[in-house]
Amino acid sequence: MRVDLYKKDLNNVVELQVLEEDLPYHPGMRESFFLDTEVFNLLTHCFETSHSLYDYQEPTRYSARQIVALHHALKKERKVLEEIQEEASFISLIRSRFMGTLFLSALEEQDALWEKKWEFYRHRLAGVVRSLVNLTELCMNTGKTLWVTGY
């Protein structure tokens, strides 16, 4: 599992594309960003609350109004992550998120000592959210749309 926003096509990922308003979505474009599903699941609530028609399995287009709502939801999530000061609070937050126990299992499998480094992983997650906030800001500042779809 990668706790990063990256530019590489893999399975079990969510693809994010920033496109001009009138351009259609095309899977796997060079400009796409990808996020592992286990990581994206922790943020699903941000995407669902900002777009009533969000569907993991179908390309979902976030236009200006939805982008603003997504931007605010992601900023709020980043603040929650950055304010966590103890391991128990971090674990509690992750468990409260969609498929959070799956994320913790994948983390345990990847790094048996992750609990000793929980702050590192909190920082990495906050970094992913920060990158997503930056994508929404790019869309807001340039009038572009964001397409999101899971594979």
In angstroms, the CA 115 to CA 20 distance is 42
The contacts of residue 10 (CB under 8 Å, 6+ apart) are 34, 36
Mean pLDDT of the 82-106 span:
97
Mean pLDDT of the 38-55 span:
97
Residue-level pLDDT at 6? 65
Residue 84 has pLDDT above 80, yes or no: yes
Domain coordinates of the chain in residue numbers?
13-150
Neighbours of 145 (CB within 10 A): 20
Mean pLDDT of the 37-44 span:
97
Q: How confident is the model at residue 88 (pLDDT cuts 50, 70, 90)?
A: very high
- Whole-structure pTM value: 0.89
Residue 83 has pLDDT above 90, yes or no: yes
Mean pLDDT of the 47-68 span:
96
